[in-house]
Structure 1
Amino acid sequence: MSKRITFILLLFTSSLYSQNGWQQVSSLGSSMMSSVFFVTDSVGFAAGDKVGYTTNGGYNWVSNYSSPRKISVHFVNPTTGWTCGITGSIQKTTNGGVSWVSQTSGVTDVLNGLFFVNENTGWITGGDFSVEKLLKTTNGGANWFLQSTGTSQKLFDVFFVNENTGWVVGNASSQKIYKTTNGGTNWFNQTSGSTPALYSVYFINENTGWACGTYGSGVIIKTTNGGTSWTTQLTGWFGSGTGFFCIHFVNDSVGFASGGNGSNSGGIAATTNGGLNWFAEAISGNPHVPGIFFRNALTGWAISGNGNIFKTTTGGMTFISPISENVPSSFKLYQNYPNPFNPSTKIKFDIGTPLPPFSKGGTVTLKVFDILGKEIVTLVNEQLSPGTYEVEWDASDYPSGVYFYKLFSANYNLYKRMLIIK
């Protein structure tokens, strides 16, 4: 009886998904993008060496080169928003990004983080290696004035839950976390025991928040008491010399973090239990992803460093269909169909009755490799109960050639070959 119930629940969940994981929907044709922000399901903005806007959910963009290069973008409604970037640059729009007006920051340092709680009140973080910069405005950016946490290191990001309570994070070599409860007039140190540089911070209320960065590789930390104490949830992601550059939560359970090596390799991690467990999401080419933004648990966007725009309407999850109620006796990987194919194919596999200690189901991974053995996409990476499943792979972004797909768990490694002909 329990196996049948599990199957029905999986089938119900799968029926909710209309799109397979992350899909590239557009490209800004840029070499250095940093940030993406959406104010509705249709209206969004991106910033980097270009600044652009979309009015149809990211499928088409109007963009122009921006000098100096911008690092962050933030909007309070579909028409009013700001960007900030290198050499102390700040710009504001009141017509949805059609035109931008420069604002005077009073500094020449790199400005990294940007956050507004309404049309008038906002903060910007930045600085150089030995100098912090923390700016505040109370009149929409017409005037900016300096605040200080007391640190001598640069700040990367800022987040406020209201006009009084907020956090900043930063430092290039060791962790810095500061909190204010009076709008930035005073700040107190909440730095935890670990020592990564932190690039992004996100809170869902005054108590619960996350920060991410690098400590030789990607790291994520969490607090449930407003920052008084922090616990490390994830380390060692992406590999040496990498980090998480952006973190975003939609509620106390569902969240996402993105990053990579700063240039051409990285990806997206997701959690559905508040960060207790994280799993990699499949994104074409595994690019460096400096920016992500979600409107809800299902609909989100990601921007790669080279300006490709990715979108998901499934929370980044790959569509996996359980197609049989019969419990297989062993693991089996079927030949994909059709094969050869263009542009998509389906891969079926059996998850047999697991051996201890995986009596309730273990983590199953399905990956695709090119003919040289380079991993190009992860299609499945999650706990699955015994059953027969099917996943569809859209290879529109990949050239003709021979590819291999591998199904593996704690006890099995299975391979098959497939062919793309275009």
Structure 2
Amino acid sequence: MRSNIFLIALFITVFSLPVTAQWTKLDLASSTSIWSLWSSGDTLIAGGDSVLYYSFDGGNNWDQSSPVPGVEYGINAIQPVQGGIYIGTALKGVFFTSNMGGEWHQRSAGLTNPGAMEIRAFALRGDEIFVATIGGGVYKNSLTTPGSWSHFSEGIPWNTSWSIYSLKNVDGDLYAGGGVNAYYYRNRKNTTVWEEIPFDWFTGEANGMLAFEKYSGGIIATSNIGIYRSSDSGNTWLKYSPGVGLIEKSDIVVSGNNIVVTLSKAARFYIMHSSNSGISWSREDMQSGSIALSMTICGGKIWVGRLDGLYYKSDTLTDIKEPDVRPMEFSLKQNYPNPFNPSTVILFNIPEENSVSGVTGNVVMDVYNSTGEKVATLLNQSMEPGNHQVTFDASGMPGGVYFYELKYGEYRVVKKMVLIK
């Protein structure tokens, strides 16, 4: 086992997606599951049930750490830093090593809220490290003078969203997937409060952000029901529905215009690929009998950590299929709340201009009373593709049934809402 201090040199790995190559299982006898993966250059780190595995030559040769004290149920997160490695565990909080796992030191002081010892992800920003927990929200600590973790969850509702499934630094802003009600949370650089932002309309089906990643055009993300991309720092999102049902776990790898995601559900997982920055997607693989917990690209191979071990296959351009193009949907959502008094929010989606024929002109939204009289115009303007919302304030209007109509080119959608006074 190597004992040198771990120094990191980040760089971009250019890759393509294999289709015909077969998966090979790596023999790592000490672990049955690989919960997390991290790579940079030819260095690859895998988090097992209680140990880390290291390769410094693209996965050809491997060493392993000593067991993490008291940890039996998985290393969920890996975060190398200058001088060592942080790991996040399933039930025992945070540990740190400065000698590649020869010795482990627990660094969980301050993680006191219920669920705070179950770690899901790390993020770095400046001289601070942030940690996502399942039930305790987000915490932060100093990298230069580490001490107790301090709670960093202002703006994230404790009763719905303190289970944080994903955490990512994108250009200095932190993005957190908390809860399952179609909201995510963004913390701008040099601020202390999280913004609550909808990424989709909540229909009652569980829908939380499982992963975020930066790509050339903005942010790509996966949730319990779809793949999303945003070109405006997460204010609005375009959705792709992969048609695989409820997703339990996901990971994303990006290089240039290539994006690869894993979508896992009960005893199976799918690999999706986009070669045009997320505009269209193809399903490249489906594996049954296990789920994918993590994914990375290293040493000319795609690596997937699964419940039943670490698997890889060659990363080549062979037999890449043309993407299965599925246009973004044009849709008008039911207002919320409904019934309402005096205001309500209406969400709608504008598709890519080149994915829907017959679409020209402004987006228009009008409100009519029960006799068909137009009582308000909420929108009449050109709009960018993506998810949008508008607020209807009915102060001064009598209670009753109203209708709101969205018009966009040849498309016309009408829905009913009820104002209670």
Question: Do the two structures share a fold, i.e. TM-score over 0.5?
Answer: yes
Residue number in structure 1 paired with 2:291:
288
Residue number in structure 1 paired with 2:5:
none
Does residue 167 of the first structure (1) align with residue 175 of the second (2)? yes
Q: Equivalent of 2:219, from 188, 209, 218?
A: 209
Q: Distance in 2 between matches of 1:281 and 1:212?
A: 17
Shift of 1:76: 3.8
Q: Distance in 2 between matches of 1:147 and 1:93?
A: 24
Q: Distance in 2 between matches of 1:267 and 1:82?
A: 29
Query: Does the 8 A contact of 1:168 with 1:179 survive in 2?
Result: yes
Does residue 231 of the first structure (1) align with residue 248 of the second (2)? no
CA deviations over 1:209-242 (Å, ceiling 9, x no partner): 1221213xxx2111110011111123322x4x43
The 5 Å alignment of 1:44-63 reads 44-63=45-64
Percent identical among aligned pairs is: 14
Query: Does the 8 A contact of 2:19 with 2:284 survive in 1?
Result: no
Residue number in structure 2 paired with 1:146:
151
3-state DSSP of counterpart to 1:209: strand
Does residue 269 of the first structure (1) align with residue 272 of the second (2)? yes
Q: Distance in 1 between matches of 2:269 and 2:227?
A: 15
Query: Does the 8 A contact of 1:58 with 1:309 survive in 2?
Result: no
Q: Distance in 1 between matches of 2:49 and 2:243?
A: 27
3-state DSSP of counterpart to 1:290: strand
CA deviations over 1:244-292 (Å, ceiling 9, x no partner): 42122223x2111113225x32132111111122223347767411101
3-state DSSP of counterpart to 1:309: strand
Residue number in structure 1 paired with 2:27:
27
Residue number in structure 1 paired with 2:80:
75
Q: Equivalent of 2:307, from 305, 315, 318?
A: 305
TM-score (norm 2): 0.61
Q: Distance in 2 between matches of 1:283 and 1:235?
A: 12
Residue number in structure 2 paired with 1:409:
none
3-state DSSP of counterpart to 1:320: coil
The 5 Å alignment of 1:9-408 reads 21=21, 23-24=23-24, 26-29=26-29, 30-63=31-64, 65-66=67-68, 67-68=70-71, 69-76=74-81, 80-87=84-91, 89-107=93-111, 109=115, 110-117=118-125, 120-128=127-135, 132-139=136-143, 141-148=146-153, 149-152=155-158, 153=161, 154-162=163-171, 164-171=172-179, 173-183=180-190, 185-195=192-202, 196-204=207-215, 208-215=218-225, 219-237=226-244, 239=245, 241-251=246-256, 253-262=257-266, 264-282=267-285, 287-294=290-297, 299-314=301-316, 319-320=318-319
Q: Alpha carbons of 1:307 and 1:17: their partners in 2 closer, same or farther (altered >3 Å)?
A: closer
Unpaired stretches in structure 2, ≥5 consecutive residues? 1-15, 325-421
Specify the code of the residue in structure 1 equivalent to 2:278. G
Q: Alpha carbons of 1:176 and 1:151: their partners in 2 closer, same or farther (altered >3 Å)?
A: same
Q: Distance in 2 between matches of 1:278 and 1:17?
A: 12
Q: How many residues align?
A: 291
Q: Distance in 2 between matches of 1:32 and 1:92?
A: 21
Q: Distance in 2 between matches of 1:49 and 1:83?
A: 11
Q: Distance in 2 between matches of 1:81 and 1:308?
A: 20
Specify the code of the residue in structure 1 equivalent to 2:139. L
Specify the code of the residue in structure 2 equivalent to 1:320. D
| Farther-moved stretch of structure 1 (63-72 vs 185-194) | 63-72
Query: Does the 8 A contact of 2:268 with 2:287 survive in 1?
Result: no
Specify the code of the residue in structure 2 equivalent to 1:258. T
Specify the code of the residue in structure 1 equivalent to 2:261. A
CA deviations over 1:29-84 (Å, ceiling 9, x no partner): 4334321001222343334444322223223433455443321112246x622111
Shift of 1:168: 0.8
Report the RMSD for the aligned CA atoms in angstroms: 3.2
3-state DSSP of counterpart to 2:91: helix
Q: Alpha carbons of 1:60 and 1:20: their partners in 2 closer, same or farther (altered >3 Å)?
A: farther
Q: Distance in 1 between matches of 2:17 and 2:249?
A: 27
The 5 Å alignment of 1:406-417 reads none
Q: Distance in 2 between matches of 1:194 and 1:88?
A: 35
Q: Alpha carbons of 1:225 and 1:61: their partners in 2 closer, same or farther (altered >3 Å)?
A: same
Shift of 1:19: 10
Q: Alpha carbons of 1:193 and 1:53: their partners in 2 closer, same or farther (altered >3 Å)?
A: same
Q: Alpha carbons of 1:199 and 1:88: their partners in 2 closer, same or farther (altered >3 Å)?
A: farther
TM-score (norm 1): 0.60
Q: Distance in 1 between matches of 2:302 and 2:221?
A: 19
Query: Does the 8 A contact of 1:27 with 1:309 survive in 2?
Result: no
Unpaired stretches in structure 1, ≥5 consecutive residues? 1-15, 323-360, 364-422
Task: Flag as ranges the 4+ runs of structure 1 deviating above 6 A.
Answer: 16-19
Q: Alpha carbons of 1:236 and 1:65: their partners in 2 closer, same or farther (altered >3 Å)?
A: farther
Shift of 1:303: 1.1
3-state DSSP of counterpart to 1:150: coil
Shift of 1:185: 1.1
Specify the code of the residue in structure 2 equivalent to 1:144. W
Shift of 1:166: 1.7
